[in-house]
Amino acid sequence: MSVKKIFMEKGKNRMFIERYVKSTLGKVGYSKMEIHKGSLSTRIILNVERPPLVIGHAGTKINMLTEDLKEKFKMDDPNVDVQAVKEPYLDVNIMAEEIGDAIERGDRYRIIAHRAVDAVMAHGALGVEVKLSGKIKGKGERGSTEKFRKGYMKKTGFPLTMVRHAKIQARLKQGIIGINVDILPPDLKFPDQIIFRTPQKKNIPVLVQSAEKKLVPVQSAENKK
């Protein structure tokens, strides 16, 4: 098997594993999954918003998940670790999932989107955009797209690589609603960003020549004050 096919098979297997894990965990605020394969075991790190729901009482749920991964995907001694996401409101996957859940519950999409955008900006994001596509206005209406944006958002060029993106679907009676979430995290610097700094005043001593022909420092008027 060629190197290209090996990488393709690994990527396909990872996709199936992540899809199975997400469907098994349910509504836990899933963010991402990391797989580290060693010589004797495979370590799987799950980043979620609510770890207790993944672990279960006395570790029952996580033990069941470990056994399922071992049997279904032929993993060698899988070890599943669960980590809590520190900033869930800055995580695109968690925010997209929350928006999708609210839409499937029947909440008004404009209220959902505005509430999500405000929450993301309140937690320090530089910019956020939520895009909803499909029959968002109800059954019998034409498909449409609406965007809800706040802050600074790049669409082209190198800064686009800094934007975090998530795309999911919400299933309603009238059809599927596409949900796209873009978040620009805080503390980023862009090539075209201009920072204005206020110059600081420095007190430099003035040297004068004394009667003995020696240079003596004299305090300036600002220092005397």
Range of the domain at 169: 89-184
Q: What is the DSSP letter of 200?
A: P
* CATH number of the structural domain spanning residue 107: 3.30.1140.32
End-to-end CA distance of the chain: 82
Residues 96 and 58 in one domain: no
Classify residue 224: in a domain, yes or no: no
Residue with tokens 């805080």: 186
Classify residue 100: in a domain, yes or no: yes
Over residues 175-224, the pLDDT tens digits come to 999 999 999 999 877 766 677 777 777 766 655 555 555 555 555 555 55
CA–CA separation, 93 vs 96, rounded Å? Answer: 5
Classify residue 160: in a domain, yes or no: yes
Q: What is the DSSP letter of 88?
A: G
* CATH number of the structural domain spanning residue 8: 3.30.300.20
Which of 55, 86, 117 terminates a domain? The answer is 86
Classify residue 40: in a domain, yes or no: yes
CA–CA separation, 177 vs 183, rounded Å? Answer: 20
Lookup: tokens for 141: 């209406």
Residues 69 and 104 in one domain: no
Residues 177 and 110 in one domain: yes
How high is the pLDDT of residue 46?
A: 95
User: How many domains are there within the chain?
Assistant: 2
Classify residue 216: in a domain, yes or no: no
Residues 98 and 179 in one domain: yes
Residues 159 and 115 in one domain: yes
Over residues 90-125, the pLDDT tens digits come to 999 999 999 999 999 999 999 999 999 999 999 999
Cβ partners under 8 Å of residue 140, min gap 6: 174
Classify residue 50: in a domain, yes or no: yes
CA torsion, points 198, 203, 207, 211, in degrees to nearest 10?
150
pTM over 0.95, yes/no: no
Classify residue 213: in a domain, yes or no: no
Which of 70, 86, 102 terminates a domain? The answer is 86
Which of 42, 57, 86 terminates a domain? The answer is 86
Lookup: tokens for 29: 């605020």
Residues 94 and 178 in one domain: yes
Cβ partners under 8 Å of residue 187, min gap 6: none
Classify residue 201: in a domain, yes or no: no
How high is the pLDDT of residue 14?
A: 87
CA–CA separation, 22 vs 27, rounded Å? Answer: 9
